[in-house]
């Protein structure tokens, strides 16, 4: 074992980055950083059909987005598992030569037929003592020793497996290609991995991999299998049913720091009152021993709440900077900055900002028909707009004055401010909801505000009509 801890994240490329994978990566990263160790990125790319270079770039980019930066000194890789095929096969040969693995020439059908005849599922060790040499079509199988395998898992404590329940598993297929079980374990050994922190679904592989470590005279790593993520129905998250791709959240305007913080709390909690803590606290406090082994509910609503909190905590100019990529390119960011503080307090994601203030950037905002009907067909709508056009043509142009003058118009006409605002808001923004009206008008400017008020009056048609 090398002196400083070596952890790894070993994704098989799939074309998107699963939030569960992101959580596993972050657990590894937090530990590697706290222990002064290394985070090795190994791409398990042995499946030919899933071996696209852009998918690897996608993994590296997604990791960078959550703060796992390939430029950090703690980061090593990406390594390609395919590139190590020769070492996987060399280890297979070594095991064969030591009598710890043997060849078998049974076909899949023959194995199934034997299992059916005996009533015992799986491979029955038929070729254990047949002394077959390597030949095309013959698979190399590991000779599972008698006894029991005890896996020391930091999350689940001790997990015992009776070796009698583990079949002599395939290391190398009949076509000469190494199996996942072999490649994964050999890479961990070759890369001197000290801690294997990975998804719970791999726990059933662990006794086999531990047997390989032991058979090769190596001390197995520290294991930690982290709980599965489930949806609100307690079903395992799935791409078909659930929003599982990290990229979807990134593109929807989630802040990476909110995402990171939320993912870390799936199965773990920081020591203080609040779950919202900076990465420095996470890195200082995270321990595998404290990870809960119950399935963790990936709650999109809670994530959204985290995101809203993180957005509100941003310095205003930083909020503007983060929003810019989510705004149409032709929008003037300075104008956006003028209204940004009123947007910042109201959005859940960065992508929510643009539709909230689009009326400031287009000549004629789309009018929501139901908002129009609700507000413009009342008796007071016309006189409010008429009076507003008169007063707004001349009054000082600041939010306070715009508000008090409209309040006065309301009093003249016997309606409260809220009622007086509605037709003005629909005339100017096209909708009944949005950021505070008077601040919006201040940014929009006198000429454009009055032009829209007039246009709405015209759209209403002649009085009494």
Please identify every residue annotated as catalytic.
Answer: 239
Taking the least distance from each CB to ligand GLU, the nearer of 13 and 435 is 13
Number of residues that bind ligand GLU (CB under 6 A): 7
Which of 112, 152, 202, 446 touches ligand GLU by CB under 6 A?
202
Q: What is the DSSP string of 320-354?
A: HHHHGGGS-TTS-HHHHHHHHHHHHTT-SSGGGHH
**Residue 10 touches ligand GLU, criterion: CB under 6 A:** yes
Query: Can the peptide bond before residue 116 be classed as cis, meaning omega within 30 degrees of 0?
Result: no
Which of 141, 195, 198, 425 touches ligand GLU by CB under 6 A?
198
CA-to-CA distance for 49 and 168, rounded, in angstroms? 27
**Residue 12 touches ligand GLU, criterion: CB under 6 A:** yes
Taking the least distance from each CB to ligand GLU, the nearer of 18 and 138 is 18
**Nearest CA to 229 among 22, 63, 11?**
22
Query: Which of these ranges, 9-17, 338-346, 380-388, 428-436, lies near ligand GLU under the rule CB under 6 A?
Result: 9-17
Q: What are phi and psi of 409, to 5 degrees?
A: -60, -45
Shortest spacing between CB 162 and ligand GLU, in angstroms = 23
Residue nearest to ligand GLU (CB): 198
CA-to-CA distance for 28 and 63, rounded, in angstroms? 12
Interface characters, 256-275, with ligand GLU (x: CB under 6 A): --------------------
CB of 346 closer than 8 Å to CB of 372: no
Distance of CA 51 to the CA centre of its chain: 22
Question: Residues 23 to 82: which contact ligand GLU by CB under 6 A?
Answer: 44
**Residue 153 touches ligand GLU, criterion: CB under 6 A:** no
Question: Residues 168 to 197: which contact ligand GLU by CB under 6 A?
Answer: 184
Q: Give the contacts of 40 (CB within 8 A, at least 6 positions apart).
A: 6, 7, 8, 9, 76, 77, 79, 191, 193
CA-to-CA distance for 403 and 407, rounded, in angstroms? 6
Query: Which of these ranges, 6-14, 66-74, 319-327, 441-449, lies near ligand GLU under the rule CB under 6 A?
Result: 6-14
Query: Which of these ranges, 10-18, 137-145, 296-304, 348-356, lies near ligand GLU under the rule CB under 6 A?
Result: 10-18
Taking the least distance from each CB to ligand GLU, the nearer of 102 and 169 is 169
Q: Give me 94's structure tokens.
A: 């070594």
Chain residues in the site for ligand GLU (CB under 6 A):
10-12, 44, 184, 198, 202
């Amino acid at each position: 074992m090398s002196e400083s801890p070596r952890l790894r994240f070993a994704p098989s490329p799939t074309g998107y980055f699963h939030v569960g994978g992101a959580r596993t990566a972050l657990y590894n990263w937090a530990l590697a950083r706290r222990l002064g160790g290394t985070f090795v990125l190994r791409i398990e790319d042995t499946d030919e059909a899933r071996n696209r270079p852009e998918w690897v770039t996608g993994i590296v980019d997604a990791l960078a987005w959550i703060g796992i930066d390939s430029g950090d000194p703690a980061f090593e890789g990406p390594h390609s598992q395919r590139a190590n095929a020769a070492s996987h096969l060399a280890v297979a040969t070594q095991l064969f030569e030591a009598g710890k693995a043997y060849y078998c020439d049974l076909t899949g059908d023959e194995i199934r037929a034997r299992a059916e005849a005996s009533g015992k599922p799986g491979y029955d060790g038929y070729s254990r003592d047949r002394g077959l040499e390597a030949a095309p079509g013959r698979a190399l199988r590991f000779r599972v020793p008698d006894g029991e395998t005890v896996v020391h898992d930091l999350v689940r404590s001790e997990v015992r497996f009776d070796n009698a329940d583990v079949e002599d598993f395939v290391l190398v297929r009949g076509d000469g290609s190494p199996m996942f079980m072999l490649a994964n374990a050999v890479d961990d050994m070759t890369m001197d991995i000290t801690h294997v922190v990975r998804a719970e679904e791999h726990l059933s592989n662990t006794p086999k991999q531990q047997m390989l470590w032991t058979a090769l005279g190596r001390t197995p790593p520290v294991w930690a299998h982290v709980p599965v993520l489930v949806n609100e129905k307690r079903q395992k998250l799935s791409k078909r049913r659930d929003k599982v791709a990290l990229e979807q959240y990134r593109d929807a305007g989630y802040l990476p720091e909110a995402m990171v913080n939320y993912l870390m709390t799936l199965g773990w909690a920081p020591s203080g009152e609040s779950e919202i803590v900076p990465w420095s606290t996470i890195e200082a406090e995270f321990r595998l021993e404290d990870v809960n082994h119950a399935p963790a509910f990936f709650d999109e609503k809670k994530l959204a709440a985290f995101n809203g909190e993180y957005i509100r905590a941003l310095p205003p100019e930083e909020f503007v900077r983060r929003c810019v990529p989510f705004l149409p390119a032709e929008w003037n960011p300075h104008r956006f900055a003028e209204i940004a503080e009123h947007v910042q307090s109201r959005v859940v994601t960065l992508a929510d900002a643009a539709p909230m203030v689009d009326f400031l950037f287009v000549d004629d905002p789309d009018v929501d028909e139901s908002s129009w009907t609700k507000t413009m067909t009342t008796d007071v709508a016309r006189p409010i707009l008429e009076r507003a056009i008169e007063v707004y043509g001349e009054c000082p142009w600041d939010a306070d004055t715009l508000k008090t003058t409209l309040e006065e118009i309301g009093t003249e006409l016997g309606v409260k401010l809220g009622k007086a605002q509605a037709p003005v808001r629909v005339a100017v923004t096209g909708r009944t909801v949005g950021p505070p009206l008077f601040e919006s008008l201040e940014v929009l400017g006198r000429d454009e505000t009055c032009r829209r008020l007039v246009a709405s009056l015209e759209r209403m048609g002649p009085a009494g009509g």
